[in-house]
Amino acid sequence: MTNEKLYKVLGDINEKYVKEAKEYRKAKNPLWLKWGAMAACLCFAVFGIFVIQRLGGAPGTTIEQPGNSILAVNEVDHVTRLDMDVQISHYTDLSGDEWETVMEAFEQAVGMSYEKFIKKLPVSYQQTAFYSVDAPTSPKSGEYVPHDYVFEFLTEDDGKVKIVICATAEPLRDCFFVCENPKKSEINGATALIYNVQDSFMVQFSHDNVNYDIDTCNITLEEIENLLTCIVS
Amino acid sequence: MDDINIVRLYWDRNEQAITATANKYGNYCISIAKNILGNKEDAEECVNDTYLNAWNSMPPNRPSILSTFLGKIVRNLSFNRYKHNTADKRGGGELPVVLDELTELVSGKDDLEQEIDLKELVKAIDTFLDSLSPEKRSIFISRYWFTDSISEIAIRHGMKDGAVSMTLNRLRLKLHNYLLERGFEL
């Protein structure tokens, strides 16, 4: 048999497995894949199309109390994705002076120091990346400046947490969850929107004039509550 | 619109079926075609042909899983286009590497004497897939059905590229042995 024939034969495998793999692709794709792919390409600009994808299942909101707070988790059945013209700047292997400059820019943009921010987070978080998402100063200008600062972490149980912060506007989003009339949650006086798609949560909130988008994968609602409490305390 | 209603539009010969399919599965079909062909123009043509093909095949078909039904059409059409393109020495996307990997499982000869019951072969592969964990199965199918790149699979599964390649190596070897044990000498 030839490899081409085997490839064709593989096309006839049980459709339930294909469907299962498709769900896997869909579930794991939001944000992580897009940003991950872009981060891998370092400074990489994309212009793309606007796609609306409807996922199966009816949307709804569940009220949960994992710890002290009552959280409204909005189930999402629409994912809207957008490729954006951005560049990623990784802040690794910088010289002392370069790091100093990045820290100054960070503090100026966010209104708090990098160290102060990191100290707010759970100590068990292991940081895996720190970079900025840079947007063009004007269309086709070719000049990009940091719009968002992004931190990625691994949790003790191999969960993934990505925190995107921006003080001047809402963080750029390459993947929107469309949800009509989402219910809000309140944690220590801060109002947050929590969305859930399969094993991912996305949390949007503002605190101390900074806008946060948090994306997680494989972490519990209790861990989300703990993280939010740490940030807003 | 849910799949049942989309299929109903096809059966009613309502052209809205194409729009609904494109809205819901256009991006999905493009990603499969682009993985195989590596260029947007060819991929878009194959996806348009997929809609036409779906229009011509429903009725009589009433697919239970519309996404897989469409995916299968676009995979076949893209693969045919790939073969046509490679005859013209126009390169493909991820497919040449995927085909290289599959070479390990086959003799490369396609003689008529080597009669293999393809239906039985598919059944054996299904049984093999059934024995895998959902994650491994997804990695295998992403690579050999959706023709996804190693790095895409790695990001999706939170693995390093090398780990995905290693997993696929092992799965191919396992499948090879599994098929040999059942008398399939490919």
How far is residue B90's CA from residue B83's CA, in Å, rounded to a whole number?
A: 9
> If you average pLDDT over residues B150-160, what whole number do you get?
82
Decide if pLDDT at A56 tops 80: no
Q: What is the percentage of chain A residues whose pLDDT exceeds 90?
A: 21
- Contact (CB<8Å) A18/B141: yes
CA distance A162 to chain B (A): 13
Q: What is the pLDDT of residue A180?
A: 67
Q: What is the pLDDT of residue B38?
A: 87
> If you average pLDDT over residues A216-232, what whole number do you get?
90
Please report residues of B whose CB lies closer than 8 A to that of A4.
79, 83, 99
Q: What is the pLDDT of residue B88?
A: 58
Q: What is the pLDDT of residue A42?
A: 36
Q: What is the band of A100 on the pLDDT scale with cuts at 50, 70, 90?
A: confident
- Contact (CB<8Å) B107/A9: no
> If you average pLDDT over residues B138-161, what whole number do you get?
88
Taking only residues 125 to 144 of chain B, the set having a beta carbon closer than 8 angstroms to any beta carbon of chain A reads 125-126, 129, 134-135, 137-138, 141-142, 144
Q: What is the pLDDT of residue B84?
A: 85
Of B79, B105, B141, the CB nearest to A17: B141
Confidence (pTM): 0.51
Decide if pLDDT at A21 tops 90: no
Please check whether residue B21 is in contact with residue B51, taking contact to mean a CB–CB distance below 8 angstroms: yes
Q: What is the band of B162 on the pLDDT scale with cuts at 50, 70, 90?
A: confident
Q: Which residue of A has its CA nearest to B97?
A: A3
Of A17, A21, A51, the CB nearest to B27: A51
Please check whether residue A129 is in contact with residue A111, taking contact to mean a CB–CB distance below 8 angstroms: no
Residue with tokens 């400059």: A101
> If you average pLDDT over residues A42-46, what whole number do you get?
35
Q: What is the band of A54 on the pLDDT scale with cuts at 50, 70, 90?
A: very low
Q: In sequence order, what DSSP letters do the residues of A199-223 get, joined into one string?
A: TEEEEEEEETTEEEEEEEES--HHH
Between A94-108, B103-117, B121-135, the lowest mean confidence (pLDDT) is in: B103-117
Q: What is the pLDDT of residue B167?
A: 92
CA distance A76 to chain B (A): 16
Q: What is the band of B185 on the pLDDT scale with cuts at 50, 70, 90?
A: confident
Please check whether residue B78 is in contact with residue B45, taking contact to mean a CB–CB distance below 8 angstroms: no
CB of B120 within 8 Å of a chain A CB? The answer is no
Of B95, B144, B152, the CB nearest to A10: B144
Give the pair of three-digit tokens for residue A89: 């700047």
Q: Which residue of A has its CA nearest to B69?
A: A15
- Contact (CB<8Å) A7/B98: yes
Of B99, B122, B158, the CB nearest to A9: B122
- Contact (CB<8Å) B108/A18: no
pLDDT tens per residue, range B18-71: 999 999 999 899 999 999 998 888 999 999 999 999 999 998 999 989 999 999
Q: Which residues contact A161 (CB under 8 A, 6 or more apart)?
A: A125, A152, A153, A154, A155, A214, A215, A216, A219, A227
Q: What is the percentage of chain B residues whose pLDDT exceeds 70?
A: 94
Q: What is the ipTM of this complex?
A: 0.86
Decide if pLDDT at A128 tops 80: yes
CB of A6 within 8 Å of a chain B CB? The answer is yes
Q: What is the pLDDT of residue B104?
A: 87
